[in-house]
Amino acid sequence: MKNNIAVLPGDGIGKEVINEAVKVLKAIGSVFDRKFTFQYGLIGVDAIEKTGDPFPVETEHLCKKAHAVLFGAIGDPKFDDNPNVKVRPDEGLFRMRANLGLYANLRPVKSYPPLYDRSPLKNNRIKNVDFIVIRELTGGIYFGQPRGRSEDGFEAFDTCKYSAGEIERIGRVAFGIAQKRNGRVTVVDKANVLATSRLWRQVIKQMAGDYPDVNLEFMYVDHAAMNIITNPAQFDVIVTENMFGDILTDEASVISGSLGLIPSASIGEESKLFEPIHGSYPEWAGKNRANPIASILSAAMMLEMALNAPGEAELVREAVLASMEKGLITGDIDPNSTCTTSQVGDFIAEYILAKSIDDVSPMTII
C-alpha cells in the first residue's frame, strides 16, 4: 500500500491549513484502516533560518522517497524589495518544482451550490462550472535564462522559453485528462504576439491526430480571461503555459467563491505533490482564520492520484460539501464569519469518522 507522505507546511497560513489536511487524512486512515506515515520537512523561511537554504537537500530526499508530498505555501513579504536578502523563500518553491520534475500542475475549478449566492458572479454564470486548468509548471518565463539586470541597473529582462518537448509532454497530459472528462481541450496562449505561443500551437496541432476523440480549440489569453468570468461553463480542460496558468487560476477561483477553495496536484516524472493554490497569506498566519478546504481537497487529490484510494478521496469531497452545507464558511468567503480553520477541519474529520460508526451494521458486528 502507498501510504508514505512527506509533509512540507512551509510559511504563513501553510502551517495551519496543512494541519487540517493531516487531521483529515488521519480520520481517513482510521476509517479505512490505512497506516499513513507523515514525515515533516523544512521549506521556505524556516528552512532558510535553520539551514540557509529554502529547499534543503534533506527535504528533497524526503520528497523523493515519499509516495506523495503534501505542501502548504511559501513566501514572506519581509524578503520582498530587500536589497540585503541573498536568498528568497520562493526560490525553494521553484527549485522544488524543477528538481522533482513537477511539470504538470492540475488545478480543478468547480462551483459549489451552497456557495452560489456568495460569489460576486451571477448565479446563472457559475452554475455547473467544472473545469480543470493544466498549468505547465517548470518552464516559460519562470525559469527561462537569461534573466536579470543590465550592468548599469537601468534595464531588467526575463526570458520566456519553451521547447517542443516540454510542450508535447504537457499536451499529452491535457489530452489524456480530456479523454477521461468531457473530451474538450482549450489551449490558452498569445499566439498573435509570442513566438513561444506559436510553437505551442504547432506542437499541439501535430499531436491532435493522436486524439481524434478530443475536441481541440485555441484561445488567446486575454479572451480566455474574459470568458472565464462571462461563460465559464464552456470549459472542460484548459492547458496553458506557466504564467498564464498562474494568473488565470487566481481569476477562476472567484467562480468557486475564494482562492481558499482551489486544490492542486503537481505531477511529473517521478514525484507527485499536492498543494492549495493560495499562497502563504502572512496577514492571517497564526490566526486560525484561513480556509483549510483547498488543502483538504489537495489531500483528496493525493488519495486519488498518488495513493490509489479514489473511494477515500470521494468521502473527503463529500465531507467538504457537507461542511459548506452546514454553513461552516471561513472569513475569506464571508468577511463577517467567525468560523475558524480548525472548526472546518474538525467538522470534516468528524464527518469522516462518523462513517465508520455508520458502516458498522449489526451484521458486521456478528
Q: Tell me which residues in 79-98 interact with ligand IPM (CB under 6 A).
A: 90, 93
**Partners of 106 in the beta sheet?**
134, 265
The verdict on whether 222 is a catalytic residue reads yes
Residues 227, 241: Cα–Cα separation, whole Å: 18
Residue 88 Cβ, how far from ligand IPM at the closest point, in Å? 10
Is 60 an interacting residue with respect to ligand IPM (CB under 6 A)?
no
Is 136 an interacting residue with respect to ligand IPM (CB under 6 A)?
no
Contact 239, 68 (CB under 8 A): no
Is 277 an interacting residue with respect to ligand IPM (CB under 6 A)?
yes
Residue with the shortest CB distance to Mg ion: 246
Is 53 an interacting residue with respect to Mg ion (CB under 5 A)?
no
* Residue selected from 60, 246, 275, 312 as contacting Mg ion according to rule CB under 5 A: 246
- How is 225-236 classified by DSSP, letter by letter? HHHHHH-GGG-S
> In this structure, is the dihedral angle defined by the CA atoms of residues 302, 356, 36 and 13, taken in order, positive or negative?
positive
Catalytic residue among 46, 130, 158, 250: 250
Residues 117, 112: Cα–Cα separation, whole Å: 10
Q: Which three cell numbers stand for residue 275?
A: 498543494
Is 166 an interacting residue with respect to Mg ion (CB under 5 A)?
no
How many residues form the binding site for ligand IPM (CB under 6 A)?
Answer: 7
Residues 195, 198: Cα–Cα separation, whole Å: 5
Please, how many CA atoms are within 13 Å of residue 342, restricted to the half-sphere of its CB? 6
Is 136 an interacting residue with respect to Mg ion (CB under 5 A)?
no
User: Is 24 exposed, middle or buried (CB count within 10 Å of its CB: 0-12, 13-18, 19+)?
Assistant: buried
What does the per-residue mask of binding to ligand IPM show for 216-255, with x meaning CB under 6 A? ------------------------------x---------
Is 11 an interacting residue with respect to ligand IPM (CB under 6 A)?
no
Region near Mg ion per CB under 5 A, out of 77-85, 129-137, 198-206, 241-249: 241-249
Residues that are catalytic = 142, 190, 222, 246, 250
Residues that bind ligand IPM (CB under 6 A): 74-75, 90, 93, 246, 277, 279
